Amino acid sequence: MHAVVEAVLSAQDNHDAAPSGIDVTISLCGSAGDGANSAGMILNRAVALMGYHIMNFDSYPAEIRGFGKSVAHTRVSDRRVLTPGAGTDCLVSLNDPHTITELGKLNPGGVILYDSKPPDYVEEDQAVAGWIEPGMVAYGVPLRELSNEAVQSARARNIVGLGVLAGLFRMPTEQFHDAIAQRFASKAARVIDGNLKAFDLGCAYAETQLDKADQIDFGGRTQPRSREIEILSGNEAAARGCIDAGLRLYAGYPITPATKIMEILAKELPKHDGVVVQTEDEIAAIGHVIGGGFSGRRAATATSGPGLSLMVEALNLAVMAEIPLVIINSQRAGPSTGLPTKTEQSDLNLAILGASGDSPRPVLAPADVAECRLLCKVAFELADSLQTPVFVLLDLFLSNRYEDVAWDGVRDTSFGVHEPVHAVAGPEPFQRYAITDDGISPQSIPGEEGLFFTASGLEHNELGMPNYSATNHQRMTAKRFRKLATLLERWPAPEMVGPDDQLDVGILSWGSSIGAAKEALEQLQTQGIRAGGMFPRLLWPLNELALRQFAKRSKVLLVAEMNAAGQFASLVEAAIGRRVRRVAEICAGPMPVEAIVRAAQGGDQ
């Protein structure tokens, strides 16, 4: 876990002097192993210490070190950041050929920083300097030369580049020093000192050798912030939520982008009387978790689409036997192995409908890093209360992105979940699957005296004994579905944003795309368009009443998500009996704000 970042700045001391209107995107581009991602993490921590909000999202190849392009992308703002931004305001080149392919993302007037003294002759078409166009602000800096001066090698070029940015943009250096020391805290003192020297050389070079021609200026001051914050990823937050919930058994098989959850829990869970098992495959993982839930221990696994596909058969057993467990699914681009390091929201149908027969289970989807922690915790409460598997849908963008989070500002709630109903032994045989109004039966820990029962994947009667009659199957199926109805009654109404009366455009979105939808709403409202949004975190069961009410007051209803089929849009159309306008993007990256804005501006349906 990332260490707590203490924001000790006083609003009174900094309010008048703090710059306003900061909203800058910075990318460091190199080959895998050039340190772009490491420098990006230092940048994140430094600007957070200055009091700014950040969102960092790195892209990297599926191959091992030494192959492919790696880009660390951070958006810095004095307001809460909802998306990583459409383009780049400043691009730092640690590898010219890779950076050339990123130049198209540079915003008008954007900065390109490149090495002015490469060690060898470079063909013109491979040198980024040969691709600089009018409107770009280019700075050539001897990154390698300054790195050699600091650490006697080229390894610190990335840190030199950070120093140049700090000097150019008048960013306070104290926070960078702290961030560098923290990043290399496990290294020898000479490593920390060398990197600090590399940063200072870059900063001094920018201040004395470069003529500033860009418009980015932090004013040399920090932002007021009185809250204690953390910088962490969605996967780190999800792992934290599991620990908060009292997870005792985690079983999983490594798979991008969910592996980090298992890595964190392998280190942290034993400290909380928990066990982590790395299984031979995903089928074994879900088997372990079912066993844990059956024995009364909170149990979970995390996977991605290919792994979830293997778990479906055993998942049905958990639904039929009413066993609580949590599945965290971090979606990536598919089908099959697909694009392992690219993001998508295309497992929604699999999470909701992937089953033989009717297999009802709740599906949750957090919108940001803080909600990854909150909803993972809530998922265990739901699983125990409803006696069923519960899904939490992340995606690669949400799993891997970093945000600054002030936990004292994060809403925590039980969402109306009640404590599980524990059975009491009596003279009659224990009806583990008793028919109830809310679908929730009394339960016991296997082996409790007087509370023995049968559990299997076969349809059964209230005692758990196999029963194949149509009448019994209808009663038990209805019982299992009543759990979803019970949940829907207790779950709060979906989040609403914008005017509460008639709308020109109503926007529905889910998961990590909610940030882009909210930013699109802001743009549409500034254009005089009456736009509003509804953003559910409970994707199944759907709150059909809320959807119909929102659709009724929306002249155009738009659904934004990252899959080609418009999976959520299809569910919405079935619920409201009306066609929607689909923004179904599969761009291998986060949902583009401009795609939502364009669709909303497209006129009536």
**62 pLDDT tier (thresholds 50, 70, 90):** low
- pLDDT, residue 228, reads 82
| Contact (CB, 8 A) for 258 and 252 | yes
Which CATH number does the domain housing residue 196 bear?
3.40.920.10
Amino acid identity of residue 295, one-letter, is: S
Question: Can you tell me the distance from the alpha carbon of 369 to that of 405, in angstroms, rounded to the nearest whole number?
Answer: 8
Domain final residue, candidates 211, 230, 249 = 230
Mark whether 432 and 370 lie in a shared domain: no
pTM above 0.85?
yes
Domain that holds residue 459: 418-491
- Please say if the pLDDT value at position 387 is more than 90: yes
Q: Specify if 409 maps to a domain.
A: no
First CA to last CA across the chain, in angstroms? Answer: 47
Torsion of CA 524, 527, 531, 537, to 10 degrees: 20
C-alpha distance from residue 29 to each of 105, 133, 174 (Å): 12, 18, 25
As given in the structure block, the two tokens for residue 264 are 């964190």
98 part of a folded domain:
yes
What local confidence, expressed as pLDDT, does residue 225 receive? 75
Averaged pLDDT for residues 325-332 = 98
Enumerate the β-bridge partners of residue 250.
Answer: 276, 300
Q: Is the peptide bond before 335 cis (omega within 30 degrees of 0)?
A: yes
Report the percentage of the chain scoring pLDDT > 70: 92
Look at residue 14 in the predicted model and tell me its pLDDT: 34
* Cis omega (within 30 of 0) for bond into 257: yes
Q: Are strands 402-405 and 53-59 parallel, antiparallel or unpaired?
A: antiparallel
Sign of the CA dihedral running 519, 523, 525, 530: negative
Residue 87 banded pLDDT, cuts 50, 70, 90:
very high
The pLDDT of 123-139, averaged and rounded, is 89
Does residue 60 register a pLDDT over 80?
Answer: no
Place of tokens 């009364």: 296
Residues 86 and 160 in one domain: yes
Same structural domain, 274 and 345 = yes
CATH (domain of 243):
3.40.50.970
Tell whether 590 and 454 lie within a shared domain. Answer: no
Q: Report residue 530 as tokens.
A: 């009456």
Residue 126 confidence (pLDDT): 84
Q: What is the total count of domains within the chain? A: 4
* Beta-carbon count within 10 A of 16 CB: 8
pLDDT of 357 > 90? The answer is yes
Q: For 113-129, what is the mean pLDDT? A: 82
Query: Contact, 321 vs 294, CB < 8 A?
Result: yes
Same domain, 384 and 424: no
| Model confidence at 279: pLDDT above 60 | yes
Q: What is the mean pLDDT of residues 508-516?
A: 98
Q: What is the pLDDT of residue 224?
A: 81
Q: Is the pLDDT reported for residue 546 higher than 50?
A: yes
CA atoms within 13 A on the CB side of 259: 7
Please report whether residue 117 resides in a domain.
Answer: yes
Q: Which of 403, 438, 458 is the last residue of a domain?
A: 403
567 within domain boundaries:
yes
pLDDT at residue 421 in the model: 72
Return the ∠ at Cα 574 (arms to 313 and 362), rounded to 5°: 40
Q: What is the pLDDT of residue 9?
A: 26
234, with CB counted inside 10 A (0-12, 13-18, 19+), is buried
Both 367 and 453 in one domain: the answer is: no
Has residue 291 been placed in a domain?
yes
pLDDT digit string, tens, across residues 3-40: 333 332 222 233 333 445 899 999 999 988 899 999 99
- In-domain check, residue 132: yes
Q: Do 387 and 483 fall within a single domain?
A: no
Tell which residue, 461, 488, 463, has the closest CA to residue 476.
461
CATH number for 592: 3.40.50.920
List, for residues 431-475, the tens digit of each pLDDT value.
999 999 999 999 998 889 999 999 999 999 999 999 999 999 999
Task: Quote the pLDDT of residue 409.
Answer: 63
- Considering the domain architecture, whether residues 247 and 321 belong to the same structural domain is answered as yes
Cα(274)–Cα(258) distance, rounded to whole angstroms? 19
Contacts of 588 (CB under 8 A, 6+ apart): 333, 339, 342, 343, 344
Residue of 291, 296, 313, 465 lying closest to 387 (CA atoms): 296
Least trusted range by pLDDT, from 14-23, 38-47, 378-387, 546-555: 14-23
* In the predicted structure, residue 604 carries a pLDDT above the cut 50: no
Judge if 438 and 545 occupy the same domain: no
Q: Please say which residue of 350, 378, 403 terminates a domain.
A: 403
Q: Could you report the per-residue pLDDT of 406-439, keeping only the tens digit for each?
A: 887 666 555 555 667 788 888 899 999 999 999 9
209 and 246 share one domain: no
What are the tokens at 69? 């392009």
Residue with tokens 């920090």: 222
Residues 56, 159, single domain; the answer is yes
Residues 209, 96 share a domain: yes
Domain-located, residue 429: yes
Task: For residue 412, tell me if it sits in a domain.
Answer: no
Residue 75 gets which letter from DSSP?
A: E
Lowest model confidence (mean pLDDT) among 221-230, 252-261, 393-402: 221-230
